[in-house]
């Protein structure tokens, strides 16, 4: 693309900002997904290789396999330390907020261990799901979708703004959490989730940090940073890349099929079938126990961390409280944005079927075909997320 310097200088700052905004926030989701995978998948069963621009699994790369099993050992070691703490400190002998904090960390690391094992077990299916989602989205934006995406305000309305903001917040979250973790290691090295809580130099959580040498604190921070990288990577990869991203692609494809219906009804319904194929793959991969595990963990983690902040905010050290606040904000965004956006494919499919019902010329084959095109519904355990919503997204 040729860069016209004179034209760029003549445009106002507002026009330049809108142009940059449209390029980065109304384009494909694929660049952001690649950045997310590159940032968080180093210790995950699935990893994005920047050199070859492809996704690999732990089964096909030795260095990736070593990193994956090392993260499993680190997470398992934390769980053993937490369980030993509960064994040595009954609930009646410690303060309530200490027990709540340990329960929270035990929950998070247990979720990470179980998720890593499940993701490693189903790594081939997860790779297929991500590759298929990227391929279908790339087909839309490459001009091979047989029709442009719906237009709004004179520009192509490609992707939604809210998921892009969520993706950006998630990427910025990693240095914040790791920075707070570094401060905890330096000033409160006896606080959980640091494994030094079992050290003889730590009589209690908020005291004894001066007895630990600086070099030991740095080693503890490196170990903790690797462990938290696994926790953060599994959490955001599971909720953002695996749970949310395929549904965003399905929604885009359904809207694309609806736009084709205006000119060619037969092609439009066959395109809708393509979105169903991707969603069937998504439902198969994200079925029990994946969806139930993700939703249950998010709810319990948010309630637990908010309880610790509300009831013991003045007792917890400020650095630790800041870490809890960041984690609480993360799960708040997951619950309020990710879970709410999971119903959007169902809403889009209901709007598509309403569009089909308004068509006048429909043959016998068309009617039979549409009967097999059921609305897409996100599987959540034994039920489906999206049932009970009108096409406008409101509960009737």
Strand partners, 47: 56
Q: How far apart are CA 236 and CA 229, in angstroms?
A: 11
**Cα–Cα distance list, 232 to 77, 127, 131, 257 (Å):** 17, 19, 22, 36
Nearest-Å Rg of the Cα atoms of the chain is 24
Q: How far apart are CA 396 and CA 392, in angstroms?
A: 10
Q: Is pLDDT of 29 > 70?
A: yes
Helices then strands (H, E): number in the chain? 15, 6
Check residue 217 and give its pLDDT.
81
Q: Is pLDDT of 112 > 50?
A: yes
Residues 6+ apart with CB under 8 A from 173: 232, 236, 326, 330
Summarize pLDDT for 37-63 with one digit per residue, the tens. 887 777 788 877 766 677 888 888 788
Check residue 40 and give its pLDDT.
76
Q: How far apart are CA 39 and CA 237, in angstroms?
A: 10
What is the pTM assigned to this prediction? 0.77
Q: Are 191 and 320 in contact (CB under 8 A)?
A: yes
Q: Is pLDDT of 210 > 80?
A: no
Per the model's pLDDT, the better-predicted residue between 392 and 109 turns out to be 109
Check residue 6 and give its pLDDT.
46
Q: Is pLDDT of 1 > 50?
A: no
Summarize pLDDT for 62-82 with one digit per residue, the tens. 888 888 888 888 889 888 888
Min mean pLDDT across 46-50, 71-75, 93-97, 159-163 is at 159-163
Number of Cβ within 10 Å of residue 135's Cβ equals 12
Q: Are 239 and 298 in contact (CB under 8 A)?
A: yes
Q: How far apart are CA 198 and CA 81, in angstroms?
A: 7
Q: How far apart are CA 140 and CA 146, in angstroms?
A: 9
Q: Are 245 and 33 in contact (CB under 8 A)?
A: yes
Strand partners, 181: none
Q: Is 155 helix (H, G, I), strand (E, B) or coil?
A: strand
Q: Is 379 helix (H, G, I), strand (E, B) or coil?
A: strand
Q: Is 287 helix (H, G, I), strand (E, B) or coil?
A: coil
- What is the percent of the chain where pLDDT is above 70? 77
Q: Is pLDDT of 34 > 60?
A: yes
Q: How far apart are CA 265 and CA 258, in angstroms?
A: 9
Q: How many CA within 13 A on the CB side of residue 353?
A: 17
Q: Are 351 and 258 in contact (CB under 8 A)?
A: yes
Check residue 161 and give its pLDDT.
65
Mean pLDDT over each residue of the chain, to the nearest integer? 74
Q: Is 282 helix (H, G, I), strand (E, B) or coil?
A: helix
Q: How far apart are CA 287 and CA 284, in angstroms?
A: 5
Summarize pLDDT for 176-192 with one digit per residue, the tens. 888 888 888 888 777 77
Summarize pLDDT for 305-340 with one digit per residue, the tens. 888 788 776 777 777 788 788 888 888 888 888 888
């Amino acid at each position: 693309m040729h860069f016209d310097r004179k034209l760029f200088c003549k445009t106002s700052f507002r026009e330049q900002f809108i142009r940059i905004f449209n390029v980065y926030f109304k384009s494909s989701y694929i660049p952001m997904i690649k950045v997310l995978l590159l940032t968080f998948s180093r210790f995950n069963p699935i990893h994005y290789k920047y050199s070859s621009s492809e996704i690999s699994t732990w089964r096909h790369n030795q260095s990736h396999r070593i990193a994956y099993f090392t993260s499993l050992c680190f997470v398992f070691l934390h769980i053993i330390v937490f369980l030993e703490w509960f064994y040595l400190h009954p609930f009646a002998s410690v303060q309530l907020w200490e027990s709540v904090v340990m329960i929270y960390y035990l929950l998070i690391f247990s979720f990470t261990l179980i998720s890593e094992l499940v993701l490693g077990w189903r790594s081939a299916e997860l790779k297929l799901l991500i590759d298929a989602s990227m391929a279908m989205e790339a087909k839309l934006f490459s001009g091979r979708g047989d029709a442009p995406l719906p237009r709004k305000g004179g520009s192509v309305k490609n992707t939604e703004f809210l998921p892009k903001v969520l993706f950006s917040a998630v990427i910025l979250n990693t240095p914040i959490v790791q920075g707070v973790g570094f401060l905890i290691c330096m000033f409160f090295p006896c606080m959980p989730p640091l494994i030094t809580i079992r050290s003889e130099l730590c009589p209690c959580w908020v005291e004894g940090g001066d007895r630990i040498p600086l070099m030991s604190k740095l080693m503890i921070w490196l170990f903790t940073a690797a462990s938290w990288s696994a926790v953060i990577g599994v959490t955001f990869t599971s909720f953002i890349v695996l749970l949310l991203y395929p549904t965003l692609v399905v929604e885009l494809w359904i809207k694309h099929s609806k736009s084709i219906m205006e000119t060619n009804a037969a092609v439009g319904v066959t395109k809708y079938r393509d979105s169903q194929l991707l969603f069937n793959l998504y439902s198969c991969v994200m079925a029990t126990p994946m969806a139930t595990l993700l939703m249950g963990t998010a709810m319990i983690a948010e309630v637990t961390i908010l309880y610790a902040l509300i009831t013991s905010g003045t007792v917890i050290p400020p650095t630790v409280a800041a870490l809890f606040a960041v984690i609480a904000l993360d799960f708040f965004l997951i619950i309020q944005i990710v879970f709410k956006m999971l119903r959007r494919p169902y809403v889009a499919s209901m709007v598509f079927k309403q569009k089909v019902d308004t068509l006048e010329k429909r043959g016998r084959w068309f009617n039979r075909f549409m009967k097999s095109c059921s609305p897409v519904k996100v599987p959540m355990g034994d039920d489906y997320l999206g049932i009970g919503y009108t096409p406008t997204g409101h509960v009737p």
